[in-house]
């Protein structure tokens, strides 16, 4: 392999004067100590007399290997090209202390502990017709998650709330989603965040048209180990098990995977809760939140379901342990989350749920949730001043 290195007019610390340039390779360069004086380093601009030399690598080939050194303007242009077609409307970063509407500037430092160690938490609130849906419930959850993850807050709760609302206001987005993170912050690449300068807050507004799909789907039992309960209840950025579970489900032609805990009880999906209608279609049951993520959509659905009890469509609403056997024998099964709202499940593994069709309770709950999003009380809808 042929490589390019930068050779300086002055001697480079660590190299023998008799070493010919034809024998230099990347392995040699890795042994050169960094120096703040005349040692090996790359300046922003090459000094006068600097030469670019092709040097032989240990694995020679007929192809040249060249990594370009880009100017700031070139980096920005490439980032703009990479973001074309993506509806990123506005981003707040406490690192820069403000909001940007330039997608090329919507970046996070590589030395942020959230990036290279996963030491961060996040949450998402939907933007519906100019309102932030359940912002305060999501905000309470991310602050609780940050406390469990031992991430101190950069700002108090009310300041974070104002920043999030203003970021949506600047974006002009009326239908989409607001995703935000609390991080240990940038500092270094060590395991401990002790050298992080200060915690960070990031938020981004994404344009999104919500497509309501009530078609029944298939799910499978996930073979990916479930997160330990201490982590499952924290909405952290450590989503590798979730991603692997989702990939496994898609490879099997299913919509999502369902996790089962060590005691054999149903837990949750990769990014949604689950619920069942049992006892002849008259009882709504949902797995306990003790060892799974406390879903804001799931909890709101439990509240709204009381209206179906008043109408006589349901006799009761319960949160309880549910076995896989009982879940598969249910009259209805559904997924609940901000990404899916309420989605009926008609098949789990090889077994059909109920009669294999979308059930009336899932449809009624979806109608109640949509109405709540459109005209619910101020406790769940925060108006964004545009």
**Which residue segments constitute the domains of the chain, with CATH numbers given?**
2-56 (no CATH), 72-207 (3.30.470.10), 217-375 (3.20.10.10)
Active-site option among 235, 299, 329, 363? 235
Among the listed residues 123, 88, 313, 295, the one whose alpha carbon sits nearest the alpha carbon of residue 208: 88
Sorted by sequence, the CB contacts under 8 Å of residue 88 that are 6+ apart come out as 103, 106, 204, 205, 206, 207
Phi, psi of 200 (to 5 degrees): -125, 155
pLDDT value at position 48?
52
> What confidence tens digit (pLDDT) does each residue in 193-234 have?
999 989 999 999 999 877 788 899 999 999 999 988 878 889
Q: Is the pLDDT at 30 greater than 50, yes or no? A: no
For 182-201, what is the mean pLDDT? 95
DSSP states along 42-76: --SSPPTT-EEEEEE-SS--SSB-------HHHHH
Angle ∠(357,266,298) on CA atoms, nearest 5? 70
pLDDT at 59 over 70: no
pLDDT of residue 225: 93
How many Å from the N-terminal Cα to the C-terminal Cα in the chain?
Answer: 56
DSSP string, 268-288: --SS-EEEEEETTTTEEEE--
What stretches of the chain adopt beta strand conformation (E)?
2-7, 51-56, 88-93, 98-100, 120-128, 131-133, 176-183, 200-207, 217-221, 256-258, 273-278, 283-286, 316-319, 332-337, 341-348, 351-352, 381-383
* Helices within 252-359 (DSSP H only): 296-310, 324-328
Cα–Cα distances (Å) from 336 to 83, 187, 293, in that order, read 30, 38, 12
Residue 61 pLDDT: 52
Is 235 a known active-site residue?
yes
Evaluate the CA torsion angle 139, 145, 147, 151 in order and state its sign. Answer: negative
Asked if pLDDT for residue 1 goes beyond 90, the answer is: no
Instruction: Estimate the crossing angle of helix 157-171 against helix 135-148, to 10 degrees.
Output: 130
């Amino acid at each position: 392999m042929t490589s390019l290195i930068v050779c300086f007019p002055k001697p480079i610390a660590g190299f023998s004067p008799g070493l010919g340039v034809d024998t230099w390779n990347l392995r040699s360069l890795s042994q050169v100590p960094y120096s703040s004086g005349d040692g090996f380093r790359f300046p922003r601009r090459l000094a006068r007399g600097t030469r670019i030399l092709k040097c032989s690598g240990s694995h020679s080939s007929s192809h040249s290997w060249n990594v370009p050194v880009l100017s700031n303007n070139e980096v920005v242009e490439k980032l703009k090209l990479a973001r074309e077609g993506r509806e990123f409307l506005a981003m707040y970063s406490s690192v820069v202390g403000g909001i940007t509407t330039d997608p090329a500037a919507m970046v996070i430092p590589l030395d942020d502990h959230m990036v290279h160690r996963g030491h961060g938490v996040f949450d998402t609130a939907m933007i519906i017709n100019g309102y932030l849906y359940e912002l305060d419930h999501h905000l309470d959850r991310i602050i609780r998650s940050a406390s469990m993850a031992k991430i101190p807050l950069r700002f108090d709760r009310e300041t974070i709330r104002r920043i999030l609302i203003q970021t949506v206001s600047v974006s002009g987005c009326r239908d989409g989603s607001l995703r935000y993170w609390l991080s240990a912050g940038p500092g270094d690449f060590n395991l401990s965040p002790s050298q992080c300068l200060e915690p960070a807050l990031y938020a981004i507004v994404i344009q999104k048209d919500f497509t309501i799909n009530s078609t029944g789907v298939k799910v499978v039992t996930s073979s990916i180990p479930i997160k330990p309960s201490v982590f499952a209840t924290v909405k952290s950025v450590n989503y590798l098990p979730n991603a692997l579970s989702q990939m496994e489900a898609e490879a099997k032609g299913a919509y999502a995977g369902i996790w089962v805990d060590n005691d054999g009880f149903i837990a949750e999906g990769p990014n949604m809760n689950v619920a069942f209608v049992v006892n002849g279609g008259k009882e709504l049951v949902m797995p306990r939140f003790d060892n799974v993520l406390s879903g804001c959509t799931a909890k709101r659905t439990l509240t709204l379901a009381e209206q179906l009890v008043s109408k006589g469509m349901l006799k009761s609403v319960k949160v309880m342990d549910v076995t896989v056997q009982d879940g598969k024998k249910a009259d209805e099964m559904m997924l609940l989350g901000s990404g899916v709202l309420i989605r009926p499940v008609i098949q789990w593994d090889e077994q059909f749920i109920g009669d294999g069709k979308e059930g009336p309770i899932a449809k009624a709950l979806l109608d109640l949730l949509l109405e709540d999003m459109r005209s619910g009380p101020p406790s769940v809808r925060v108006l964004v001043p545009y």
